[in-house]
Amino acid sequence: MIEDNVEAILISETHWDRAWYLPFEKFRLKLVRLVNNLLEILETDKEFSYFTFDGQTVVLEDYLEVVPEKRALLQRFVRNGRILIGPWYVLPDEFLISGESMIRNLLMGRAVANEFGNVMNVGYIPDPFGHVSQVPQILSQFGIDSAIFARGTGDETDELGAEFIWEASDGSEVLAHWLPLSYGNVAGLPDDVDDAVSIIEQVMEDLRPHSRVGLMLLMNGSDHLEPQKHVPEVIRKYNSKNEKRIVMGTLPMFLERVREKREQLQRFKGEFRRSKHQNLLSGVYSARVFLKQANESAQNTLERWVEPLCTVSAIAADSYPGDEIRQAWRYLLKNHPHDDICGCSIDEVHDDMMQRYRWIGEIAESLVDQALEKLAGTCSKTVPGIMIVNPTPQERSEIALVGILLSDLRFTRYGEVRLENPLLKPRTPLEAAKNEIHIATVKRWGLDMTPIAEREVVIGDERLTEFEFDFSAFALLFPAFGRFKRHVSTTYKVRVNSKNQVVEVWGRKFDAEPLTGGHIVVRNEEGKVVPSEILNIEYRTNPRAHIVADPEDYVTMAVYAENVEGLGFKRYDLELAEEPVDAPQLLGPAQYSDTRLEN
């Protein structure tokens, strides 16, 4: 409880940008020095009561990665309330990130804070370039009933003052405090105590007209500033000269007074996107657009692909990769502080961001692949097929684009001939065939395979000798090969001309049909033909063929997937037919006139 004769609470704090006009590691060295000095002050001066860590918790992780032996001491000061941390993981820009990212930010911030013992349950968001109207809605869902901020206000504060009730469109609300002189109104006090007192007196004079609760916030800290040891002495000197006192305190202590005066406060609904009192720097929204594009892609991938598919996979087949997903989110959130995502830092900072986005993509791709493989395992059959996944929560009947490597179904002709030794002058057609890269690779492993068949093939006016090699049994001899067998052809046809030159190479997977042609037919679970169409055939390399990757026929098909459940999947069988098979028409004939066309 703050006594009535207390007119101001002084908050010792810092505003810590992890990266901005210096790269992260250079700022981290400054952070280590700051925290070391802070811990020494708190240990030696009981009068230095509190220190507020800028509303974020990532700085604790950053510090402890360098000085892990200080964890217990840091925890002690957090638990006894002398260091205040959270509720955010980082202080994000609010307009360039998704709503889900803000929620994950608070979730992760609370999780980190709980590891240390306490979380400051105050919506402290001092420096983002404006605030979205949903801030009260998001904060209130975390049990946070307050918001303290600086930027974004306009003429409305002439009536509202510094304290008011901020209401979201859904009716949720928080107690809001606007910092009229920003988050460092008494930052960097002079070492001379009398000079420091004079500055505080002037700031108090400037703040009084804005206060609606009779209590003001003095913010002793700013960008990358360390705690000032002489603050208790300055407070004593101020109190000796003035009838109404100031105390060193915390943001929760200030909000107690605001709650007492709640019924006297005016209301505001909407966003804060004005710049009457502080700059908004709106130009940052078009700065380094590649960052915004990478961020949108990363958010969509995690929110709409990774988590839904991993959830369905966990229900159907296996455990949920929560730790791996949290790591991807941690990388993403570290890109969301306003100086980072807004693109207004030095180049090195944004290079680091793109590295994190690449890591997110690597984690996401691996997790999606794992989830799809597990789902595919639940509906595997002896015949080849495709699985169409619906990652949205609604049932859908739509055309899906499906990519198929032709070697999964039958022999496919490779886009290029590759030889083990291009300088070799083979004396026989078989010697030429065994110089082909796949056959030579197996020979290099110690197995000189005999072809399972030799035949003549006539193409135009040219007679070719075709040798067929089958390496399917390799999985028995080399168990490690079994991991790759799904993505590497195991049966090859090597065609050699009369000059003992390899002119064509064909390959297929171990379970594909021994055919070189055929039309692809798609059937549903009832065996009925499903409407489908080949849109494109191109040479493409299978990125999962880790032994030898070849450019081979890659077929892009449009397949009509009907009634695929939300967050569900359906399997369709694939088969080869000598002639095209008619599928039922999706739509009736088109109706048209001079002015309209519809079906």
User: What does the domain layout of the chain look like in residue ranges?
Assistant: 6-280, 285-378, 385-408+517-577, 412-508
| Mean pLDDT of all residues in 100-121 | 97
Distance, CA of 240 to CA of 83 (rounded, Å): 27
pLDDT at 317: 74
Percent pLDDT > 90 in the chain is 84
Cβ atoms of 225 and 188 within 8 Å: the answer is yes
| Mean pLDDT of all residues in 450-478 | 88
| Mean pLDDT of all residues in 367-376 | 91
* pTM higher than 0.75: yes
Instruction: List CB contacts of 128: < 8 A, sequence separation 6 or more.
Output: 91, 92, 93, 94, 149, 151, 338
Catalytic residues: 127
pLDDT at 481: 65
| Mean pLDDT of all residues in 81-86 | 97
* Each residue's pLDDT tens digit, 304-349: 999 999 999 998 877 899 999 999 999 999 999 999 999 999 999 9
Tokens representing residue 169 in the block: 């469109």
Do 285-378 and 385-408+517-577 come out as alike in CATH topology? no
* Each residue's pLDDT tens digit, 32-41: 999 999 999 9
Element (H, E) at 206: helix 193-207
Cβ atoms of 571 and 525 within 8 Å: the answer is yes
Cα 434 to Cα 33, 424, 487: the distances in Å are 66, 11, 22
Beta bridge partners of 539: 553
Share the mean pLDDT of the chain. Answer: 93
Task: Give residue 360's pLDDT band: very low, low, confident or very high (50, 70, 90).
Answer: very high
* Each residue's pLDDT tens digit, 554-564: 999 999 999 99
Task: Give residue 413's pLDDT band: very low, low, confident or very high (50, 70, 90).
Answer: very high
Look at residue 230 and tell me whether its pLDDT is greater than 80.
yes
DSSP for 73-87?
HHHHHHHTTSEE--S
pLDDT at 340: 97
pLDDT at 380: 81
Instruction: List CB contacts of 331: < 8 A, sequence separation 6 or more.
Output: 356, 357, 359, 360, 363
pLDDT at 478: 67
pLDDT at 316: 81
* Each residue's pLDDT tens digit, 268-303: 999 999 999 999 998 999 999 999 999 999 999 999
Cβ atoms of 469 and 452 within 8 Å: the answer is yes
Distance, CA of 354 to CA of 565 (rounded, Å): 36
* Each residue's pLDDT tens digit, 542-594: 877 766 678 889 999 999 999 999 999 999 999 999 988 888 777 667 888 99
Element (H, E) at 209: none
* Each residue's pLDDT tens digit, 167-182: 999 999 999 999 999 9
CATH tag for 285-378 (out of 3.30.70.360, 1.20.1440.130, 2.30.110.10, 1.20.1270.50): 1.20.1270.50
- 3-state helix, strand, coil split of the chain in percent (to 5) is 35, 25, 40
Look at residue 69 and tell me whether its pLDDT is greater than 70.
yes
Look at residue 120 and tell me whether its pLDDT is greater than 70.
yes
pLDDT at 587: 66
Q: Which of 146, 211, 213, 212 is nearest to 173 (CA)?
A: 146
Considering only CA atoms, give the Rg of the chain. 34
Cα 575 to Cα 381, 406, 561, 572, 596: the distances in Å are 13, 12, 17, 10, 39
What does residue 577 show for φ and ψ, rounded to 5 degrees?
A: -125, 150
Look at residue 446 and tell me whether its pLDDT is greater than 80.
no
In CATH terms, the fold of domain 6-280 is 7-stranded beta/alpha barrel (3.20.110)
Contacts 24+ apart (CB under 8 A), 365-370: 367/306, 367/309, 367/310, 367/321, 367/324, 367/325, 367/328, 368/305, 368/306, 368/309, 370/310, 370/313, 370/321
pLDDT at 47: 96
pLDDT at 541: 84
Tokens representing residue 410 in the block: 């039958």
| Mean pLDDT of all residues in 527-537 | 93
Beta bridge partners of 272: 131
Task: Give residue 480's pLDDT band: very low, low, confident or very high (50, 70, 90).
Answer: low
pLDDT at 192: 97
pLDDT at 482: 64
Beta strands at 83-84 and 51-52: parallel, antiparallel or unpaired: parallel
Tokens representing residue 391 in the block: 């990652």
In CATH terms, the fold of domain 385-408+517-577 is Immunoglobulin-like (2.60.40)
Cβ atoms of 484 and 547 within 8 Å: the answer is yes
| Mean pLDDT of all residues in 80-84 | 97
Task: Give residue 475's pLDDT band: very low, low, confident or very high (50, 70, 90).
Answer: low
Tokens representing residue 502 in the block: 């390899």
Look at residue 2 and tell me whether its pLDDT is greater than 90.
no
pLDDT at 580: 85
* Each residue's pLDDT tens digit, 383-392: 899 999 999 9
Classify residue 306 by its DSSP letter.
I
Look at residue 362 and tell me whether its pLDDT is greater than 90.
yes
Cβ atoms of 554 and 419 within 8 Å: the answer is no
